[in-house]
Structure 1
Amino acid sequence: MTLVLFNKPFGVLSQFTDRGSPTTRATLSDFVDVPGIYPAGRLDRDSEGLLLLTDDGRLQARIADPKFKLPKTYLVQVEGEPDADALDRLRDGVLLNDGPTRPAEVERIDDPALWPRNPPIRVRQSIPDSWLKLTIREGRNRQVRRMTAAVGYPTLRLVRWRIGEWSLDDLPPGQWRTA
């Protein structure tokens, strides 16, 4: 069994080919040259961080399928400074257009020591930003972004830091290692 931990940079698709796009976009094949592996789950093109790839179908299902409730932890830079009420709403579960989310674990954190994003986020001098550490146990499309927006704090930058027992630690963007 092969398990690859990849730090997916901003702007990279979480697939090995880019079908149907008139422009060439970066894919996993631009970074990872390990035959027979596939992503276990997805990470949006405009999100960064940990993506697991494996050749083990059972492990892939355990990682990607929400029924296993594998925790996924994100470092989330949001517009504004979330108050206790907003954090409690995230902890209780947020009602999205596709139904309520499961409760999240969330806390405000100091600015993490991350690599610079390319391109940088849009900064507005009149509006502060802050960081959250948010853990969910499901994986709907753009869920974290939709959750923070639902409580009034849009996501500016999203970095998946941990999936279950696997973490980025000191893995630089665009690099990978086997577990």
Structure 2
Amino acid sequence: MRLYNLLKNSLDLTRLELTEYMNKHKVTVNNIVVPLSTIINPNDIVSIDGNKIEMIQFHYYLYYKPKGILSTISNKENSYINQINIPFKVTPAGRLDKESEGLMVLSNDGNFLNKITGDKNEHEKEYIVKVSKSITIDFLNGMGKSYLMDGKMTKPAKVKKIDDYTFSIILFEGLYHQIRRLVQMCNNKVVELKRIRISNYYLNDMKPGDIIEFKP
């Protein structure tokens, strides 16, 4: 882990705020002033103005978000944060809207979350979708095309028919309500939407509400 990430997570500061903070305080690793890009090892001693700070323990979870649960952090009872029994703050790698269900990856490791959700990395996200009208070849072809959405062209999706009303789709980005909007553009309507994979992390046989800790 880099010194920048340790300080950012420990102090809960933005990069700009952290830069300003570094100008006012003396940060050392093993009593030596080093740049923010320095790689920190578990046995290193990091201090701010001579006061040692504890190394953060990172945690990683797979969570099956049930339908009706919000994937945003809030005080609302149906926020996912109030459904999981974890004694520290975690954030999701990619959100799901309230009416959707399926896999969320949760962690307090910002670097890890960025790696599996950042647009530059193009990690796959796979969904199973049920629609209201029977699926045609034209519909499948339309769902796989690139469209102008939120000011940019979407990346072509991988689409496969499962049965007359169900298909799988793999996206390489995560725009707001992207699948629901694509389905509507192709003259159909989403009835059920479930995310089953983010990158190489799978929902498998998890049940709604299940949460599993893992090591990346």
TM superposition score normalised by structure 2:
0.67
Match of 1:8 in 2: 65
Distance (Å, rounded) in 2 between the aligned partners of 1:97 and 1:150: 14
Contact kept? 2:197, 2:203, Cα under 8 Å: yes
Contact kept? 1:7, 1:175, Cα under 8 Å: yes
The answer on 1:170 being equivalent to 2:183 is: no
Match of 2:78 in 1: 26
Match of 1:118 in 2: none
Distance (Å, rounded) in 2 between the aligned partners of 1:149 and 1:99: 18
The equivalent position to 1:158 in structure 2, one of 162, 169, 193, is: 193
Contact kept? 1:13, 1:25, Cα under 8 Å: no
Match of 2:91 in 1: 38
Amino acid at match of 2:82: D
Distance (Å, rounded) in 1 between the aligned partners of 2:152 and 2:135: 22
Match of 1:135 in 2: 170
Amino acid at match of 1:53: L
Change beyond 3 A, Cα 1:97–1:81: farther
TM superposition score normalised by structure 1:
0.80
Distance (Å, rounded) in 2 between the aligned partners of 1:81 and 1:98: 30
SS at match of 1:92: coil
Contact kept? 2:135, 2:166, Cα under 8 Å: no
Aligned-residue Cα RMSD (Å) equals 1.7
Alignment of 1:13-162 (within 5 A): 13-18=70-75, 24-34=76-86, 35-96=88-149, 98-110=151-163, 130-162=165-197
Contact kept? 1:90, 1:104, Cα under 8 Å: yes
Contact kept? 1:96, 1:146, Cα under 8 Å: no
Of Structure 1 and Structure 2, which has the larger fraction of its residues in helix?
2
Change beyond 3 A, Cα 1:98–1:153: farther
Point out where structure 1 has 5 or more consecutive residues left out of the alignment: 19-23, 111-128
SS at match of 1:106: strand
Question: Taking CA–CA contacts closer than 8 Å with sequence separation of 6 or more, which of the two structures ends up with the larger relative contact order?
Answer: 1
**Paired-residue identity, %:** 31
SS at match of 2:144: helix
Point out where structure 2 has 5 or more consecutive residues left out of the alignment: 1-57
